[in-house]
Amino acid sequence: MKQQIKDQINRPLRDLRISVIDRCNFRCTYCMPADIFGPDFAFLPKSELLSYEEIERVARIFIGLGVEKIRLTGGEPLMRKDLPILVEKLSAIDGLSDIALTTNGVMLPKLAEPLKMAGLNRVNISLDTLNDDLFGEINGRGVKTRPVLTGIKAAQEAGLGVKINMVVKKGLNENEILPMAEFCKNEGLELRFIEYMDVGSTNGWKMDDVITKKEIYELLKENYELEHTGAAYFGEVAKRYRYKGTNVHVGFISSVSESFCSSCTRSRLSANGQIFTCLFNGNGHDIRDFMRAGASDEEIRKRVVGIWNDRTDRYSDERTAETIANRKKIEMSYIGG
């Protein structure tokens, strides 16, 4: 029986994000800008990454404490060798109801079917524009949209659930909001509009670059009839709507303009084995070295409980010019989304 833990403001621990690798085949403007993460950037050596057996062990402990959903992230998680083996290990753990993966989709034609057979339920695929030139600029490699669109099709054909993530940045891709909405609506894909966030310290984030959920919603309302569908579960971060007369949804993730700290149910495990209780907190809690030093499952469990119960993260609630400038934050490549 699970021992579900909650912190001092009654937020249950239900979701675990696991970053399996700290590198990506793109150098995106948002999270791994090419001027920082160039060919000479020192990524983590394999010995510093958690092994699949270590990830499985930590995941089993988290699931015993109430976690029901796991999402694999990166970097680009599909760059981790033999990833279906990890998915199979995780999907076999009693109590896990959902396992998902966030990806840029380029490697899905080869891996979608093996991942589905291993137990993966769904994928979130990043696609910020349908314009080839702009997409090449954003991904930093000049890659066109076709490989991602092919990956989306491969995921659908494999029977995976598919959601599309679109980060919107003022002055970059706000003109792509309606084309993306129309494309996803026609293809029966749920599109998630994500406010441009100040994750890490390398993307040059400024509040002036944010297109808010309200602005995007008002633009969509001018072109579509939207019906609010409400949260599917406690802690759901996306505010979801349905295009009237269809079963196609669109969602908004508004951690900048409409924070949801009070209902956050997520913990994150970085590629090098650090537990983070907030996407915007650079102060992790070591679990890798603790585990490798011989800690028992019970000792690890107690450490996780203590970390969760002691959390005081309220970054999105408390975001100010001072906190933006002075707070240490972990890079997206280490912790995922």
The tens digit of pLDDT for each residue in 57-99 reads 999 999 999 999 999 998 899 999 999 999 999 999 999 999 9
Among 69, 92, 225, residue whose Cα is nearest residue 161: 69
For residue 187, give the CATH number of its domain.
3.20.20.70
191 part of a folded domain: yes
140's CB contacts (< 8 A; 6+ apart) are 26, 27, 28, 29, 32, 33, 34
The tens digit of pLDDT for each residue in 226-248 reads 999 977 777 677 899 999 999 99
Q: Is pLDDT above 70 for 103?
A: yes
> How confident is the model at residue 98, as a pLDDT?
97
> How confident is the model at residue 256, as a pLDDT?
79
Please state, in angstroms and rounded to a whole number, the distance separating the CA atoms of residues 114 and 225.
38
Pair of tokens at residue 135: 């997409």
> How confident is the model at residue 258, as a pLDDT?
74
**Binding-site sequence positions for [4Fe-4S] cluster:** 24, 28, 31, 261, 264, 278
- Residue 172 φ then ψ, to 5°: -120, -60
**Binding-site sequence positions for S-adenosyl-L-methionine:** 30, 75, 126, 197
Phi-psi region of 200 (alpha: psi -120 to 50; beta: other; left: phi over 0): left
Please state, in angstroms and rounded to a whole number, the distance separating the CA atoms of residues 250 and 191.
5
Q: Is pLDDT above 70 for 330?
A: no
Label each residue of 244-291 as H, E or C.
Answer: CCCCCEEEEECCCCCCCHHHCCEEEECCCCEEECCCCCCCCEECHHHH
Q: Which structural domain range is residue 83 located in?
A: 15-335
**Binding-site sequence positions for GTP:** 17, 71, 102, 163, 266-268
250 part of a folded domain: yes
271 part of a folded domain: yes
**Binding-site sequence positions:** 17, 24, 28, 30-31, 71, 75, 102, 126, 163, 197, 261, 264, 266-268, 278
Q: Is pLDDT above 60 for 38?
A: no
Contact 284, 276 (CB under 8 A): yes
Please state, in angstroms and rounded to a whole number, the distance separating the CA atoms of residues 177 and 150.
21
Kindly indicate the confidence band of residue 9, based on its pLDDT and cuts at 50, 70 and 90.
Answer: very low
4 part of a folded domain: no
Mean pLDDT of the chain: 87
The tens digit of pLDDT for each residue in 287-328 reads 999 999 999 999 999 999 999 998 877 656 565 544 555 556
Q: How many domains does the chain have?
A: 1
